[in-house]
Structure 1
């Protein structure tokens, strides 16, 4: 009887809803990139960390300016989110980091990427990203225009709790490469790109015949998604957040904050993660970019 009671208690423990207690999330920021106000990786993850303080008993750690120098930072985490430059410079592609992330994924750790971080390379990283997150940016297939995305409807999903339809201009990548048949993928943010998104010539990131045909047909495009891995782990991709100011949009910010909880298998509140961001918050922790500012000022002066 005692053995039976113990077995029952164990089964109930595993069946109970997961709370934030004991959950740990790691947000990894990339190094300085782009001009002022764009790709503000450090300021972005620090802002997300601040906003997640409203979630009781959730431990949110950050690694600024790149991959954690201390491997112990990855110990005991339930989710990791990368916000960094992609392509050949993607921080996940250096050293043995793909193997490290693979080991975390096999342990059930949620893996998410924001903006440029959704782009590994086709030769290195793409197979793993598809396995972990269900989708990725692929050169000569996906594109990265700046456009106004109108998110007119949202799916019923924990990530969209408390999120209302919204419109926001960003560098929304689309025509993403997804796993076969999008099995396990739930589109979170979907919008129809306008004609301006094909105004550039064809290029690795700018355009291709497949994208031009899709835009001409008015096809809706997935720009953010959730993924449930066959092994029970979770993945998330968001192609926006080029502009730091966009974290000031309550609905966009709530989408990403909810996703971080969902990745860690923390119950997302019915109204989503509630947070307030001020102008001062957005101005905090921005990367120093004097060289970029000087170059921009000189260019502007030359146009006068």
Structure 2
């Protein structure tokens, strides 16, 4: 009986140890803000979190919906935080909670920003975003057209593991604001946008002389996703796509983001990338239901 008791205790101890060793990844999902199939922050986070929990035993992915967590303890010991929400001005969620963000990054928490969460008021938060993830969308500098981008090659970086060439239509932001020396930044997705993306009149998000000079004259490849190694040892990742919910059905699009989240959490990415099942149309449509 004593041997059985000891064995059970050891098994429970090993189980508790295994649970304690899991890396916590927290998704902060903003309210869905567009029509069905666009800016589906809740559905996208649900899909990505499930993929991580299903495929990587060492991960505990949890979702906080509709803003900063009321119970801040959910962020305790978070290896990485993923922001998928509406950004914009000085009231950006990460700026409102800048002091907490500084505490999180100072202890090595990885930060991942998807799509609109990359846009922040330059004066209020530009320097912070450069510090946290290496880049951001700056109005009157960056642009947000919908276009088809093709990715034929990738850098030798863990985030690109198992990702094969793909082409996909999305609202790909580009001409992002980066530091001049690009120190610590590795572009993961790069493309040269077509001239058709700059047909709109000049505006805060549509066109400007600087972007025309960079793309139409100098023909500079634009970084649409990047990995950032912070000087303090932490990691950041920016991904400008993610406007259209259906794009999560693309295996390479999805794999790259899953890889990036795992990398930001300082976990080892499998040789062929993070595996996940392709969502069916029914599954994808079920995820577009609004979350209160």
- TM value normalised by structure 1: 0.85
- 1:89-168 map, 5 Å: 89-94=91-96, 97-168=97-168
Gaps of 5+ in 2: 1-19
Corresponding residue for residue 279 of structure 1: 281
- 1:42-53 map, 5 Å: 42-53=42-53
Q: Indicate if the aligned counterparts of 1:171 and 1:241 stay in contact, CA closer than 8 A.
A: yes
How many Å separate the matches in 1 of 2:70 and 2:21? 26
Corresponding residue for residue 64 of structure 1: 65
How many Å separate the matches in 1 of 2:36 and 2:48? 19
Deviation at 1:79, TM superposition (A): 0.5
Q: Indicate if the aligned counterparts of 1:138 and 1:176 stay in contact, CA closer than 8 A.
A: yes
How many Å separate the matches in 1 of 2:106 and 2:283? 36
Q: Indicate if the aligned counterparts of 1:32 and 1:287 stay in contact, CA closer than 8 A.
A: no
Q: Secondary structure at the match of 1:44?
A: helix
Q: Secondary structure at the match of 1:284?
A: helix
How many Å separate the matches in 2 of 1:158 and 1:281? 29
- 1:261-272 map, 5 Å: 261-272=262-273
Q: Secondary structure at the match of 1:182?
A: coil
Deviation at 1:212, TM superposition (A): 1.3
How many Å separate the matches in 1 of 2:213 and 2:164? 30
Corresponding residue for residue 213 of structure 1: 213
Deviation at 1:213, TM superposition (A): 2.0
Deviation at 1:287, TM superposition (A): 4.1
Corresponding residue for residue 198 of structure 1: 198
How many Å separate the matches in 2 of 1:179 and 1:227? 12
How many Å separate the matches in 1 of 2:190 and 2:57? 31
How many Å separate the matches in 2 of 1:287 and 1:31? 12
Q: Indicate if the aligned counterparts of 1:21 and 1:56 stay in contact, CA closer than 8 A.
A: no
Deviation at 1:174, TM superposition (A): 0.5
Corresponding residue for residue 172 of structure 2: 172
Gaps of 5+ in 1: 1-19, 290-304
Corresponding residue for residue 31 of structure 2: 31
Q: Secondary structure at the match of 1:187?
A: strand
Q: Secondary structure at the match of 1:24?
A: strand
How many Å separate the matches in 2 of 1:45 and 1:149? 23
Count of residue correspondences: 268
Deviation at 1:140, TM superposition (A): 0.7
Corresponding residue for residue 298 of structure 1: none
